[in-house]
């Protein structure tokens, strides 16, 4: 059974519509990540699910029950906030136990559940500390603990890692993933970081301007982006986009050899050829781009090279130990199967498998 | 390597030799200190004279010497043995305490509502409350008196207290402080199942403790020292508050300054206690401890 269903959700503030009919079905135990740039409506969607905002139109259904008119506490959800929102005047024990204040459990049951959560999060030693005595990562764990202790149908995470430093973020990301594997609850996670989205999600929901642009497994949205926005947003560095015109089934770049397209595109139509930097390498085999290296970014095993070509600047991946020099002319090639074709006007993918 | 060590040694010797830098105070600093000193004297002198006068005999009170010729505690014995003083003290204590608690509860409740709830007319209500700050107390005294008379509150605790049970200033102060409490705290508590009143009491109020302490000090001191309204609304000596009662030690013919000053000296003790209790709460930054590290 789907644990969460969103049906045509619309949210309007005054005269501005920030969500234009969001629909999604989330299976029980699924880890869903909403990702998109600032202002795309991902946090608003989360707040509508939580009941912190009222929907203008549409339905939110949790565990088969429409919850639009229920208060947040009646929705069987728990939320972890970006700023953690753990109460500074309470100890860790009281913070975690706070979610059980209004439950019908006996005192002994509450204690047992609190101890259980503290042990899962490895916080038993810290239960009597105040938040000011905790590190950023520990505070985040307290916030997660407060959500876990209620054993909700759906966990909502609102950019919970964005305030942590890079190292801690990676560590907490792993912990959240392990936690999900252990407890198995449904998680809706909002982030603007596509790496977080890729690493955590069972399915990613990519949003822009209040619309869902694509929903799919991380590998799907990476390898088969539905449009240029998804193609550019997922993957770092972004996909290279090259303007082409179609001539007799061939994509013609500003210079260089024409590229045979496997898809049926009408004559003279403008298309965008997308190729990820990971798939574009300096090589002598069937190169289709030629240009001068302007910048090198060593990453260790690989080096990113920025190449100035007649079709614009592109990023390619070169060998980490022997990258081309700056100013050197290189020929770039990519496997045909790694090329993506988008309609230049609509931005939608023209790939047959997208 | 060796030369580097030598260089470091040489430079540290120079530093040590120079010792603490001798600085002569600039003219600007001297003027600043002088102004601060005069300010300090102006603040302390009335208190010093109050204590000094309370230790003097009646014939000595117009002698401006700060140290009494024959210091004694007879005035304290007289005031403390005078039954009326205890009554006034208790009246003032009851009134100041109840008014302080009332202000802490209701000013913060209204401030919280105006700050954290979105409802039509919110700004109009807030501006209306603020605008009452512009009305001088003297203008309100007659309506208050007529109200007290109409409700039968003259010469009662209720009559003395009712104008100050809630204040526009307190509401404004609390609203501004609640602005510093992130909405995430409130929303987290809402998701955790608390009702709005419980959120205000268990989550929001502890986070604005510094403001509550400041408000408590202001309100307590304001009511402890209030004179005009208690003087107007009370008739019987038993209902006098301390400042009104102390003023009764003097009449047109003879003002017993030494007794007034003794009473005033004793009456400063609760204000000191209140200040010492609450000032430790006035430590900013407690709100931030639960947020990002």
> Which residues in chain A have Cβ-Cβ distances shorter than 8 Å to B189?
98
Residue of B188, B191, B289 with shortest CB distance to A131: B289
Residue (of A177, A184, A176) closest to A154 by Cα position: A184
Tell if the CB–CB gap between A85 and B184 is shorter than 8 Å: yes
Residue (of B71, B42, B77) closest to B57 by Cα position: B71
For B183, name the nearest residue in chain A, comparing CA atoms only. Answer: A85
User: Touching check for A89 and chain B: CB below 8 Å?
Assistant: yes
Arithmetic mean of pLDDT, A75-81: 91
Q: What is the pLDDT of residues B95-119, one digit of tens each?
A: 999 999 999 999 999 999 999 998 9
Contact in structure between A196 and A164 (CB atoms under 8 Å)? no
Å between A142 CA and nearest CA of chain B: 10
Instruction: Give the domains, in start order, of chain B with CATH numbers.
Output: 24-72 (no CATH), 82-292 (1.10.3720.10)
Q: State pTM to two decimals.
A: 0.77
Q: A329 to each of A84, A287, A294, A308, how far by Cα in Å?
A: 51, 13, 10, 9
User: Touching check for B182 and chain A: CB below 8 Å?
Assistant: yes
Instruction: Give the domains, in start order, of chain A with CATH numbers.
Output: 2-229 (3.40.50.300), 240-343 (2.40.50.140)
In this prediction, residue B162 carries a pLDDT of 94
> Which residues in chain A have Cβ-Cβ distances shorter than 8 Å to B194?
73, 101-102
> Which residues in chain A have Cβ-Cβ distances shorter than 8 Å to B209?
89
Burial (Cβ within 10 Å: 0-12, 13-18, ≥19) of residue A141: buried
> Which residues in chain A have Cβ-Cβ distances shorter than 8 Å to B182?
83, 85
Contact in structure between A154 and A185 (CB atoms under 8 Å)? yes
Q: What is the pLDDT of residues A149-189, one digit of tens each?
A: 888 889 999 998 888 888 888 888 888 898 899 888 899 99
Q: What is the pLDDT of residues A236-254, one digit of tens each?
A: 899 999 988 888 778 888 7
Counting one residue from chain A and one from chain B, the pairs whose CB atoms sit within 8 A come to: 83
Query: What ipTM does the predicted assembly reach?
Result: 0.80
Gap between the Cα atoms of B290 and B293, Å rounded: 8
DSSP category for residue A324: P
Tell if the CB–CB gap between B192 and A99 is shorter than 8 Å: yes
Tell if the CB–CB gap between A99 and B193 is shorter than 8 Å: yes
User: Touching check for B196 and chain A: CB below 8 Å?
Assistant: no
Count, residues in chain A: 354
Longest dimension (CA), chain B: 95
Tell if the CB–CB gap between B191 and A98 is shorter than 8 Å: no
Å between A37 CA and nearest CA of chain B: 21
Q: What is the pLDDT of residues A295-335, one digit of tens each?
A: 999 999 999 999 999 889 999 999 988 899 999 999 998 88
User: Touching check for B185 and chain A: CB below 8 Å?
Assistant: yes
């Amino acid at each position: 059974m789907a644990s969460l269903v969103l049906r045509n959700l619309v949210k309007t503030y005054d005269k501005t519509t920030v969500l234009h009919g969001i629909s999604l079905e989330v299976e029980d135990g699924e880890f869903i990540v909403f990702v998109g740039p600032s202002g795309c409506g991902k946090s608003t969607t989360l707040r509508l699910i939580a009941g912190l905002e009222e929907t203008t139109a549409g339905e939110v259904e949790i565990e088969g029950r429409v919850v639009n008119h229920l208060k947040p506490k009646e929705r069987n959800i728990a939320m972890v906030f970006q700023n953690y929102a753990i109460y500074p005047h309470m100890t860790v024990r009281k913070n975690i136990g706070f979610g059980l204040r209004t439950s019908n459990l006996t005192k002994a049951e509450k204690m047992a559940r609190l101890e259980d959560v503290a042990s899962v999060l490895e916080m038993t030693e810290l239960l009597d500390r105040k938040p000011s005595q905790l590190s950023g990562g520990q505070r985040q764990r307290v916030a997660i603990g407060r959500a876990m202790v209620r054993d909700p149908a759906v966990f909502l995470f609102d950019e919970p890692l964005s305030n942590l430093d890079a190292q801690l973020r990676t560590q907490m990301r792993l912990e959240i993933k392990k936690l999900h594997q252990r407890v198995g609850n449904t998680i809706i996670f909002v982030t603007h970081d596509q790496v977080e989205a890729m690493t955590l999600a069972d399915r990613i929901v990519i949003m822009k301007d209040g619309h869902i642009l694509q929903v799919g497994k991380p590998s799907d949205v990476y390898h088969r982006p539905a449009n240029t926005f998804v193609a550019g947003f997922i993957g770092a560095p972004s996909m290279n986009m090259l303007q082409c015109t179609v001539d007799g089934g061939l994509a013609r770049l500003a210079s260089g050899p024409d590229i045979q397209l496997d898809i049926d595109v009408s004559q003279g139509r403008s298309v965008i050829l997308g190729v990820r930097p990971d798939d574009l390498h300096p090589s002598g085999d069937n190169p289709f781009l030629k240009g001068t290296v302007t910048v090198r970014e060593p990453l260790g095993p690989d080096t990113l090279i920025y190449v100035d070509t007649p079709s614009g600047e592109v990023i390619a991946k070169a060998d980490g130990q022997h990258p081309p020099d700056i100013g050197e002319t290189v020929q770039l090639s990519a496997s045909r199967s790694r090329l993506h074709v988008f309609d230049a006007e609509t931005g939608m993918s023209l790939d047959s498998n997208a | 390597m060796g030369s580097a060590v030598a260089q470091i040694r040489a430079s540290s010797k120079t530093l040590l030799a120079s010792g603490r830098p001798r600085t002569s105070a600039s003219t600007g600093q001297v003027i600043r200190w002088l102004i601060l000193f005069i300010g300090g004297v102006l603040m302390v002198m009335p208190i010093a004279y109050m204590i000094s006068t309370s230790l003097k005999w009646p014939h000595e009170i117009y002698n401006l010497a700060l140290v009494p010729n024959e210091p004694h505690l007879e005035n304290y014995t007289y005031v403390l043995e005078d039954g009326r003083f205890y009554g006034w003290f208790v009246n003032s204590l009851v009134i100041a305490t109840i008014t302080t608690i009332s202000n802490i509860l209701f000013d913060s409740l209204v401030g919280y509502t105006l700050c954290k709830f979105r409802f039509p007319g919110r700004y109009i209500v807030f501006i209306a409350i603020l605008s009452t700050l512009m009305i001088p107390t003297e203008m309100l005294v007659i309506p208050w008196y007529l109200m007290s008379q109409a409700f039968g509150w003259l010469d009662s605790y209720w009559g003395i207290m009712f104008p100050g049970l809630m204040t526009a200033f307190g509401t404004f102060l609390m609203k501004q402080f609640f602005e510093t409490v992130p909405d995430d705290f409130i929303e987290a508590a809402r998701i955790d199942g608390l009702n709005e009143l419980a959120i205000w009491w268990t989550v929001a109020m502890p986070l604005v403790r510094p403001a509550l302490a400041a408000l408590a000090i202001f309100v307590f001191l304001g009511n402890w020292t209030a004179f005009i309204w208690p003087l107007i609304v009370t008739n019987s000596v038993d209902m006098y508050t301390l400042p009104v009662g102390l003023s009764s030690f003097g009449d047109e013919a003879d003002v017993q300054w030494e007794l007034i000053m003794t009473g005033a000296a004793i009456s400063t003790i609760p204000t000191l206690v209140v200040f010492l209790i609450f000032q430790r709460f006035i430590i900013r930054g407690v709100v931030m401890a639960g947020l990002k590290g």
